[in-house]
Amino acid sequence: MGQDEPGSPRTRARVPRSVAGRWTDVATTAERIRWIRRRSEQHLEALYLDRLLTPRCRRAHPSLDVDRTVTLMASRRGGSTWVQELLSSGPGVCPLFEPLFGTWYRRRHGLGVVPLPRPGQEAPELEQFLREVMAGRRLTPMLRRLCDTPELLAADQFLVKHVRLSLAAGWLLERFPRSPMVLLVRHPCAVVESLERVRWGPDTVEQALSEVPPVEQDQVRQLVGDRPTTVGVLAGIWAVEVRALLDQTTPATAHLLTYEAVCADPVGVLGPVMEAVGLPRPPDLAVLAARPSETTGSDSVVRTHGDPVRAWLDRMDPRARDEVLAVAAAAGVPGYSRDPLPDEAALRERHAEPPTFT
């Protein structure tokens, strides 16, 4: 079902952090060899994407209407890959995975650090980049993670997922006003527990902050104070992003889903949303919802028939839980407590307030 795997953050095996982005950041011979190898791989991948696959996509989709492309907005480890798979499971719909993933590729196309423009601000490079992606005319490193090339070329509709543009939700609505948007939120304790546990998760406050753009870092620092912990920063990132999604959109401009509600009744929750945003609904949606996501790990609570909604209750230190909930409350995000099920009425009431931009 979701992508959350139970496991202790204190004992899990860590995968080494990726090689530094600049030659001057590496010191040993082994690091320099890895740096050269990685840069060579990236260069070859960029040539493959830009010179071969992107031209094929442009020939296949010369005039696809971006107004039919659906955008799914969520935070990391929020179950969005599973939900994207379900929403795009109808005929002719192709899921496009995280187009802004990959610093080196963004830099190659003039984006660099993920831009987070506010409504009214100009961001022509980002707008053009997203317009090409949403029209099926631009390939990026992670875009085909949930689809193959024939499916991409044959698609007549796309569903794009972002976990990096929450603070720009209002700008996206302004620039693509007729493209439907869906929001997915998940309990902050489940999200933080997962980020603490996954192998690629951050080990330190500095690593956690380095994974979000500077404008988001500033908001997180203001929220968590002068003596942050890794748990507090991860909770702050969740809170800042979810607050932005709730504040910058309304029920008239975006459909709000909670991961917990989708888990409880995937057909009853997703079916009406698919109809509202113009996505064809497959007849076997219930069967598809019972399957783990393509990106779910082998030790996932879903693959072991556990409960993805409640698993964090047994895995999370009570002090970390209370810290996460305190950060969520300080950010003004309602609806979350020690109960793993959110207060959906409180979330929807907040979402219905007039848009604001911080």
* Cβ atoms of residues 115 and 126 within 8 Å: yes
Question: Residue 6: pLDDT band by 50, 70, 90 thresholds?
Answer: very low
Confidence band of 121 (pLDDT split at 50, 70, 90): very high
Work out whether the CA dihedral 81, 83, 84, 88 comes out positive or negative: positive
Under 8 Å between Cβ of 219 and 358: yes
Which of 231 and 108 is assigned the larger pLDDT? 231
Strand, helix or coil at 202? coil
Confidence tier at 5 by pLDDT (50, 70, 90): very low
The pLDDT score that the predictor gives to residue 14 is 41
pLDDT at residue 8 above 80? no
Greater confidence (294 vs 269) lies with 269
Q: pLDDT digit string (tens) for 144-200?
A: 999 999 999 999 999 999 999 999 999 999 999 999 999 999 999 999 999 988 878
Q: Which two tokens stand for residue 262?
A: 């989708």
Instruction: State how far the Cα of 155 lies from the Cα of 95, in Å rounded to an integer.
Output: 9
Q: Would you say residue 279 has pLDDT above 50?
A: yes
The structure tokens listed for 166 are 């929450």
List C-alpha distances in Å: 151 to 67, 163, 215, 254.
20, 23, 37, 27
Give pLDDT, residue 322. 97
Distance CA 153, CA 94 (A): 9
Where are the alpha helices (H) located in the chain, listed in sequence order?
Answer: 29-47, 54-60, 80-87, 103-108, 124-134, 149-154, 169-175, 188-197, 205-210, 214-224, 230-248, 259-264, 266-277, 285-289, 311-315, 318-330, 344-351
Question: Which of 54, 50, 67 lies closest to 149, judged by CA?
Answer: 54
Per the listing, tokens 């070859």 go with 44
Tokens coding 44:
């070859």
Token pair in block for residue 201: 């998760």
* C-alpha dist (Å) from residue 78 to 81, 86, 171, 198: 8, 15, 22, 13
Higher pLDDT, 13 or 147: 147
Q: Report whether pLDDT(12) > 50.
A: no
Closest CA to 89 of 298, 302, 290, 255: 290
Q: Which domains does the chain have, with CATH numbers?
A: 61-351 (3.40.50.300)
* Mean model confidence pLDDT for the chain: 89
- Is the pLDDT score of 102 beyond 90? no
One-character DSSP codes across 263-299: HH-HHHHHHHHHHHHTPPPPTTHHHHHTSPPTT--TT
pLDDT at 214: 95
Unique residue bearing structure tokens 């302004």:
174
